[in-house]
Amino acid sequence: MRFESGKANGLLIDSLIVYNGALVVDTLASTNESKAILLDLLEWGRTGLGISYEERLIRRWGNISHIIFKTDIPLLALYSSPLQKLAAKTSAVTEEIFEGLKYAPNQIWIGHDPAARKNAIASLFIAHRVNTSYSENEFFSEAPLPTHLHIQFLREFEQDVKDSIR
């Protein structure tokens, strides 16, 4: 069952999807705020509709957070010198055909071995934001992490890249 375009506790809900054995809430809020919305909805269902619910029935929580961020460095172009070399070689060949076209690393994907489990868990990825120039250093990231850890890991990654170029 899918419910779309709602509001709870002053926060917009894009969708609430009820699967057999799972509930998914998609919001523009943090994962902690989204969890609180879902718990409030379940409590409302228990008290208002008489559904059988206790918080202990939730065995695990999964997260996917989306972050748009800007940095003062070309993060993806600098994180790997072997990829920089590969991009330069590719640019040298393609520039003969498409004048002025420069290649650069444009996304990072970090995922688990797909043989490790039947149903995959989301990867962590960082990509240049769609329809923005690479020089703007604007990025989109998705991760199977709570929002606060996702932001923390992105900040640490940015610092690690900065430290590696000094």
pLDDT tens per residue across span 100-129 = 888 999 999 999 998 998 888 899 999 999
Q: Are 36 and 22 in contact (CB under 8 A)?
A: no
Each residue of 4-62: pLDDT tens digit? Answer: 998 888 889 999 999 988 889 999 999 999 999 999 989 988 998 988 888 888 888 99
Q: In Å, what is the CA distance from 81 to each residue of 38, 84, 86, 110, 165?
A: 44, 5, 9, 18, 10
Residue with tokens 């199977």: 144
The pTM assigned to this predicted structure is 0.85
